[in-house]
Amino acid sequence: MKDATQDYARWIGRTEIVEDDISLAPALAAAATIDDTVTQFGKGVALPPLWHWFYFLPRAPQATLGSDGHSPRGGFMPPIPYPRRMFAGARQRFYRPLVIGQPAHREGVIRNVVQKSGRRGSLAFVTIGYRFLQQGEVCIDEEQDIVYREPGPPVPAPQPIELPPVPEGAWLRIVMPDTRLLFRFSFQCAPDTLRSTLRDERGGLSRAGHPRPAHGNPAFRTGATQYLALYCGFQLPGPGATLRPGVIPPCRDAL
């Protein structure tokens, strides 16, 4: 493997701009994926929180993709050689919703690159800042953390556990993250979950070393937010509201 100890500091500050028409079709597909048959989407309707993840997707030529399905590194993203890539987390601040049918653009910047050594080998963390604008106004500020890991032994399959008792009066929706759901979500949103669904032809390991398609943070944060809006009346508290880990209760899922 190529030496990964090189300094990637020169990637800090690198930028990119991606444009999108915010068309209706991705919103309809997303609603169908999470079984939202209630919300009426159309031109001029505001996108729910986190649904910007269904837009601004990469359009790299097929011949340039890596074995994990991602765009080649070395352009906007630093050329870190570790093959295991994971979406480690994100923080958002919402000012106004993106509106269907109005062109928008996303400004991206590499904010930091940090290399570490852990119990399972070397890692590299890339922090990316995104700003989403429509009609000249900032709609969303977002910061994402992407982690890369060097090759290692396959990740063991998770052991099923029994769900704890549901408190009286609590609302519960069980989401089964099966292959159908994850493939569907991956092809609509998600370069960052697509790598989990790419299977090894010899017997079930994903290219990232997972024993089966893994459920992704983006999939469950998006679904949980909309489920809470539909069934619990959840709304962002107002302009400038922040979403970060722990703000949205996780869906209880059965693996």
In a domain, 207, yes or no: yes
- The CA-atom distances, in angstroms, between 45 and each of 6, 21, 48, 239 are 47, 14, 9, 17
> Mean pLDDT over residues 230-247, rounded?
53
pLDDT digit string, tens, across residues 90-113: 899 999 999 999 999 999 999 999
The rounded percent of the chain whose pLDDT value lies above 70 is: 69
**At 196, which CATH number?**
3.10.129.10
More confident residue, 40 or 61: 40
* Backbone φ and ψ of 153, nearest 5°: -65, 155
Contacts of 141 (CB under 8 A, 6+ apart): 92, 93, 95, 129, 130, 131, 132
In a domain, 79, yes or no: yes
When divided into structural domains, the chain yields a total of 1
Contacts of 137 (CB under 8 A, 6+ apart): 95, 96
In a domain, 106, yes or no: yes
pLDDT digit string, tens, across residues 63-75: 887 766 777 777 8
In a domain, 3, yes or no: no
In a domain, 2, yes or no: no
The boundaries of the domain holding residue 156 are 9-253
Cα(125)–Cα(98) distance, integer angstroms = 29
pLDDT band for position 163 (50/70/90)? confident
Task: Report the predicted TM-score, pTM, of the whole model to 2 decimal places.
Answer: 0.76
pLDDT digit string, tens, across residues 192-238: 444 444 444 343 445 555 544 444 455 556 656 665 555 555 555 55
> Mean pLDDT over residues 100-128, rounded?
92
